[in-house]
């Protein structure tokens, strides 16, 4: 892995993500890479270049940004093969596939420290004020209601069930966002997640207060 690999990955990711409208735009990628670099400084023996490479590419194969999951995989693999040998390309694709959230009832599996760091950084960007903004941007783009007090959150026991869920955006807080603090791998990530989760809970209390419902936070 060289600085040149990183430069090419940055150009590729920037061209792919610029202007994306569901909160997976280039700014998200930049924030994740910066956050991952900071977390990595506090972790022993983390490969800084690998952290940055995975951070830059982590959302390229996201099924939400392609017409199918397979298409996303093929798109990234083609690019990886243009830069790395077959074994390295497969390994990098596997690392990147480990990062995404697959449901409240599905355990995370990370095969190396660098993936754990980028997963923490990516999840921190789904929390706090920016996390709230991204959730409603995503919901709006998918024509989802902000909230429906008659539709309750579900705990998805499989990735398949999580992928096809179509609830309102407030439910996404219970189905994913409020669960992320517990699932952090690094101490740095856990501390930041804790503060951002407190902020999100106070947002939810205010939201319910304005709506006039008594949902649990
Ligand atoms: P991951 O990178 O773990 O796969 P996603 O791509 O699913 O995560 O989520 C990235 C962003 O999109 C987050 O900010 C998240 O809140 C938002 N998002 C994803 N699914 C939903 C949803 N069903 N409702 C609202 N926001 C969502
Ligand atoms: Ni991401």
pLDDT score, position 166: 87
Cβ–Cβ under 8 Å, residues 173 and 144: no
Ligand 1 pocket test, pick from 33, 104, 138 with the greatest ligand atom count within 8 Å of Cβ, gives 138
Residue nearest to atom 22 of ligand 1 (CA): 172
| Average confidence score pLDDT of the chain | 97
Instruction: Show the low-confidence residues of the chain (pLDDT under 50).
Output: none
Q: Is the CB of 169 under 6 A from ligand 1?
A: yes
Q: What is the pLDDT of residues 7-35, one digit of tens each?
A: 999 999 999 999 999 999 999 999 999 99
Cβ–Cβ under 8 Å, residues 9 and 82: no
- Please return the burial class of 103, using the count of CB atoms within 10 Å of its CB with bins 0-12, 13-18 and 19+: buried
pLDDT score, position 121: 98
The two most distant CA atoms of the chain are separated, in Å, by: 58
Instruction: Note if the pTM is more than 0.75.
Output: yes
CA of 161 to the centre of ligand 1 (A): 15
Identify which ligand lies nearest to the alpha carbon of 138.
1
The three-state DSSP-derived secondary structure of the chain is CCHHHHHHHHHHHHHHHCCCCCCCCHHHHHHHHHHHHHHHHCCCCCCHHHHHHHHHHCCCCCHHHCCCHHHHHHHHHHHHHHHCCHHHHHHHHHHHHHHCCCCCCCCCCCCCHHHHHHHHHHHHCCCHHHHHHHHHHHHHHCCCCCCCCCCCCCCCCCHHHHHHCCCCHHHHHHHCHHHCHHHCCCHHHHHHHHHHHHHHHHHHHHHHHHHCCCCCC
Q: Is the CB of 79 under 6 A from ligand 1?
A: no
Ligand 1 atom showing the smallest separation from residue 119 Cα: 3
Within 10 Å of residue 195's Cβ, how many Cβ atoms?
A: 11
pLDDT score, position 1: 86
């Amino acid at each position: 892995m060289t600085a040149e690999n990183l430069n090419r990955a940055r150009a590729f990711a920037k061209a792919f993500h610029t202007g994306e409208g569901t909160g997976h735009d280039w700014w998200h990628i930049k924030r994740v890479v910066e956050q991952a670099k900071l977390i990595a400084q506090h972790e022993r023996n983390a490969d800084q270049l690998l952290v940055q490479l995975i951070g830059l590419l982590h959302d390229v194969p996201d099924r939400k940004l392609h017409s199918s999951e397979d298409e996303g995989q093929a798109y990234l693999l083609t690019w990886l093969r243009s830069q790395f040998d077959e074994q390295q390309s497969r390994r990098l694709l596997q690392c990147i596939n480990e990062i995404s959230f697959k449901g409240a009832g599905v355990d995370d599996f990370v095969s190396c420290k660098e993936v754990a760091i980028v997963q923490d950084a990516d999840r921190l960007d789904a929390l706090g004020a920016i996390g709230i903004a991204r959730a409603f941007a995503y919901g709006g783009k998918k024509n989802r209601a902000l909230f429906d007090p008659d539709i309750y959150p579900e705990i998805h026991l499989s990735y398949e069930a999580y992928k096809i869920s179509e609830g309102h955006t407030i439910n996404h807080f219970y189905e994913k966002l409020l669960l992320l603090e517990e699932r952090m791998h690094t101490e740095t990530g856990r501390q930041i997640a804790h503060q951002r989760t407190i902020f999100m809970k106070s947002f939810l209390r205010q939201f319910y207060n304005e709506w006039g419902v008594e949902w649990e936070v």
